[in-house]
Structure 1
Amino acid sequence: MVADMERGRGYERRWNVGEISPRDRFAAWCEILSTTHLAFATDISRRLRDDFAADVREQALGSMSLVDTSVLPHRGQRTRRQVSANTRDVIGLHFVESGRQAVGLGDQRVILGPGDAMIWDGAATGEYEILEPLTKKTLIVPRAVAATVLPSYRNSFVKVLPKEHPPTRALISVLSLLSEQLPTMDAGAREASAALVCELLKPLDSLHGRGEPAPPRPRLELRERALDYIDTRLGDPKLAPATVAAAHGVSVRTLYNALDSLGVTLAAYIRTRRLARSHDDLVFGSDPVGLIARRWGFSSLAHFSRVFQQHYGVSPSRVRRR
């Protein structure tokens, strides 16, 4: 599953979980994530587990590393347990190439899509959820380096960078080029490239939301607005495709066309998001199962238990006992 290639003073490592038994793929992904990024407590629905896929390439860039990742939907949470056992003191810069991902810290929840970039801190707790098949690049920066190039960044876990901010775009362009060219470079070229990347990081340090994004295409704009709307109203039992369409002044058909990349019906997407939030409350909270079901818009405890069992392969009460 892993291929290591030494080139000069650098290295390249590859992982593809598709090369191993389906039942072991998600566990292998957890190990890869811990090796290349950070340790997370991860979870995936039973329906997706056997078909899980992830492809990762890690390349050295001076004392930093550049990681290309393609991965299917799942969730992860970084708790104090993972932070306290941390063996990597790093900050990451994360660029989404395709797909959608939610990232959260407490009550803060950010939805990232193609072209979005963020900074995250390995010393903070938080969570993520891959909502659609995701392709991304991540620059892993040791804190010793970050203290020099990003001295004002501190433990906010996630900081979203404006899409059209010129220094952000320049850094993304250089990292995309390096992802292709690093395997052909000698040690001297790699060190020079690492120095260039450090210089490109510096303008991001004082960035506080300046820069106006280019107007999005109408269909993409509707898609992002609709999904954000859904995520903030999952507890409303009346939430349905018709109410989402009405809230945005479009027909249900127009809404479906904007959301056709989800790969599932909108009703199924809403149900999956509700189940995911319910699962988190069962694992990390102490409220009664019936209260959790009502909180996330399920009409009855019996209905909630049935769809939860179908999705996760285990009953809500058993998840609570675990």
Structure 2
Amino acid sequence: MDEGAGTFPSRERQWSMSEVPLRDRFAAWCDILGATHLAFAMDPSPQWHEGFSADIREHGLGSLSLLETSVEPHRGRRTRRQVNANTRDVIGLHFINSGRQAVDLQGRRVILGPGDAMIWDGSATGGYEILEPLKKTTLIVPRAVAATVLPSYRNSFVQPLPGDHPPTRFLIRMLSLLCEQLPLMDDGARQASAHLIAELLKPLGELHGDNSAQPLRVSRPALRERVLDYIGQNLADPALVPTAIAAAHGVSVRTLYSAVEGLGVSLARYIRDQRLARCYDALLFGADPIGTIALKNGFKSAAHFSTAFRERYGSTPREVRRRG
């Protein structure tokens, strides 16, 4: 790990997991997150043994810090234990550049993708899962600063930010520009930039007034694609229904239906057809029993599966299995 990278080592730091022995990466990643973001309990999934990698570059910005993170899929959770042991009283504003991340928001799962943003309070508990290689920009703000620039901000929650909010969009563009220019700036320029960012944060306080308890709409520049991808990854779940899909993406059912217009069939029918298509392939090329195939693909019973399959393909599952 190189903690002295950049033109001004005291203001620029960089960490690369590629420089850490594979056996030490789990502990190293926990330490790096604690030093740059917040402490999380990591899930030691199989990817830790398959060359897990991540890179973080930290730019000093007065009392703020700006982080550029590139990380591969993994899971983490901030429990009450990490909150109670907290040594950094901060909030983080996260802006997704590419990839997808799931966040547990008070019992519901929200998927964030390119163009989406969220605030994570350091005193909040919750979990996250990086679903695919992710690049994000994070602004770390001390709570003392947040109390001044975001006076109506409500503590202890994780909250999506509306990406179609003009001040949010402008802030994202400004942070992207700073990531490029900060390595060349001296202390005076950095301090001036910090004051500018503090001013740009103030309009976000409008989003946490009387309606702060209401979920804010997350920008969905590619909602259709992400919904279809989400369906493909969760076909095994019998509870995969439009209301659950809408909740997972932080949108209304009406917005969900609008996003997937043009499928040619209803969303429920699309889900069923996708399940049946996977079952068809499994019958032809797999060895699992028919009942197991049905359950693995979200059908509640073999009888229900057999009826739906015959309606779709004009053959029974057993007949397709014999052909395979």
TM-score (norm 2): 0.69
- Look up the match of 1:179: 179
Structure 2 residue runs without a partner (length 5+): 209-213, 242-259, 280-294, 301-324
What SS does structure 1 have at the residue aligned with 2:4? Answer: strand
Q: 2: distance between equivalents of 1:211 and 1:76? A: 24
1:142-291 → structure 2 map (5 Å cutoff): 142-207=142-207, 216=221, 220-229=222-231, 235-236=237-238, 248=267
One-letter amino acid of the counterpart of residue 222, structure 1: R
Q: CA contact under 8 A between 1:5 and 1:13: conserved in structure 2? A: yes
Q: What's 1:320 paired with?
A: none
Question: Which secondary structure state, in structure 2, belongs to the residue aligned with residue 207 of structure 1?
Answer: helix
Q: Do the aligned residues in 1 keep the contact of 2:161 with 2:218 (CA within 8 Å)? A: no
Structure of larger gyration radius: 2
Cα distance change of structure 1 residues 36 and 238 upon mapping to structure 2, 3 Å threshold:
closer
Give unmatched runs, 5+ long, in structure 1. Answer: 256-265, 268-293, 300-322
Matched position secondary structure for 1:206 = helix
1:146 is paired with a residue whose SS is helix
In the alignment, residue 152 of structure 1 is paired with which amino acid?
Answer: S
Q: Does 1:98 align with 2:117?
A: no
Are the counterparts in 2 of residues 95 and 118 from structure 1 also a CA contact under 8 Å?
yes
Secondary structure at the counterpart of residue 206 of structure 2: coil
What CA distance in whole angstroms lies between the structure 1 residues aligned with 2:101 and 2:299?
Answer: 24
1:234-259 CA-to-partner distances (Å, cap 9, x unmatched) read: 641899xxxx987638979x98xxxx
Q: Could you tell me how far apart the structure 2 residues matched to 1:73 and 1:87 are? A: 26
Distance in structure 2 (CA, Å) of the matches to 1:201 and 1:20: 36
Deviations, residues 52-93 of structure 1 (Å, cap 9, x unaligned): 000110111010100100000000010100000000000010
Alignment length (residue pairs): 255
Greater shift in the superposed pair: 138-147 or 159-168 = 159-168
Q: Which residue of 2 aligns with 1:50?
A: 50
> Alpha-carbon deviation of 1:164?
2.0
Q: Are the equivalent residues in 1 in contact too, given 2:123–2:156 (CA < 8 A)?
A: no
Structure 2 Cα separation of the partners of residues 79 and 121 of structure 1: 13
Corresponding letter in the other structure for 1:154: R
**Percent of residue pairs identical:** 58
Say if 1:8 and 1:187, in contact at 8 Å, map to a contact too: no
What is the alpha-carbon distance in structure 1 between the residues aligned to residue 128 and residue 50 of structure 2? 21
Query: Structure 1: how far apart are the matches of 2:59 and 2:90?
Result: 16
Give the CA deviation at 1:165: 1.3
Q: Distance in 1 between matches of 2:57 and 2:266?
A: 42
CA-based RMSD of the aligned residues comes to: 3.6
Letter in 2 for 1:37: H
Query: Amino acid of the residue matched to residue 76 of structure 2?
Result: G
CA contact (8 A) 1:69 1:135 kept: yes
1:146 to 1:10, Cα distance in 2 relative to 1, 3 A: farther
Whether the 8 Å contact between 1:165 and 1:212 is mirrored in structure 2 is no
Does residue 150 of structure 2 align to residue 131 of structure 1? no
Query: Secondary structure of the residue that 1:223 maps to in structure 2?
Result: helix
Contact 2:6 2:183 in 1 (8 A): no
Separation (CA, whole Å) in 2 of partners of 1:71 and 1:214: 22
Q: How far off is 1:50 after superposition?
A: 2.8
1:86 and 2:105 equivalent?
A: no
Q: 1:211 and 1:177, CA in 2 relative to 1: closer, same or farther beyond 3 A?
A: same
1:22 shift after superposition = 1.6
Partners of 2:4 and 2:10 within 8 A in 1: no
